Structure 1
Amino acid sequence: MIEIVLSLAIGVLGASGVWLLLRPRTFQVIMGLCLLSYAVNIFIFSMGRLKIAAPPVTASGLENPALYDDPTPQALVLTAIVISFALTALFLVVLLAARGATGSDHVDGEEPGA
C-alpha cells in the first residue's frame, strides 16, 4: 500500500513540476523546479528500500544487508535538499534582478500582446 501512495506522490509532484516549468512567468518556473526536485528527492529516498523501524548499519550482529537500513539514499537526499535550497535562493535573486531590469516577470522579458 505504501508503494502505491509513494508512486502517486512522486507522479503528482513530477507532473505538477513539469507543468509549472512550462508556464510563462518566472516565479511559476521556480516553483516547478522546487516541485520537481521534491519528486526526485522522494524517488531517491525510496530507492533505499522501504523499511519501517529498521536498525542502522552500525548495529552489531547484522550479517544480512537486507535486515538494515541503507544510509546512502538518505545522505544523497540530505545533500540534494541543501543544494536545491541554495539554487532556489539564487533563482529568486535572479528573478528580482530580471524583473527590475525588464519590468516584467515573463521568462522572455516581454508581456504577451505587447
Structure 2
Amino acid sequence: MEIILALSIGALTSSGIWLLLRSRTYQVLIGLSLLSYAVNLFIFSMGRVQSAAPPLLKPGVPADLAHYADPVPQALVLTAIVITFAMTALFLVVLLAARGLTRTDHVDGRRSGT
C-alpha cells in the first residue's frame, strides 16, 4: 500500500511540475491543481495509512498512537482543499482577464508565432 501511495504522489508531483513549465495558462492551472493534489496526498499519508482506526479516543482502548488515526493531517487536508479551490477560482478569473487583454493564452503574453 505504501509503495502505491509513494508512486502516486511521485506521478502527481512530476505531472504537475511538467505542466507548470508549459507556456499556456490553462496547462499551468492544471499543473497547480495536480501539484496541490500531490501535496494533499502527502500530508494525508503523514497521518499513517490505517484502516478501521478511529480518530477519537474510546474507553477501554490504550491511549497511544498505535490504536488511533491522527486527525490533524485530515484537518489540514480539508483546509488545503478549500484554499486550493479558492486559489483555482481566482487564478481562472485572472487567466480570463489576461486573455481578454492580451488576446493570447500564453504565460509570457506573446503570440505563438512571434
Return the TM-score normalized by structure 2: 0.95
1:18-97 alignment, distance < 5 Å: 18-61=17-60, 62-97=62-97
Displacement after TM superposition at 1:113 (Å): 2.9
Displacement after TM superposition at 1:59 (Å): 1.9
Return the TM-score normalized by structure 1: 0.95
Distance in 2, Cα, partners of 1:3 & 1:54: 17
Q: Percent of pairs identical after alignment?
A: 67
* CA RMSD in angstroms, aligned pairs only: 0.9
Distance in 2, Cα, partners of 1:7 & 1:65: 22
| Matched residues, number | 113
Moved more, 11-20 or 56-65: 56-65
1:3-22 alignment, distance < 5 Å: 3-22=2-21
Gaps of 5+ in 1: none
SS class of match (1:67)? coil
Moved more, 52-61 or 17-26: 52-61
SS class of match (1:55)? coil
Q: Is the 8 A contact 2:57 2:68 kept in 1?
A: no
Partner of 1:102: 102
Distance in 1, Cα, partners of 2:100 & 2:85: 23
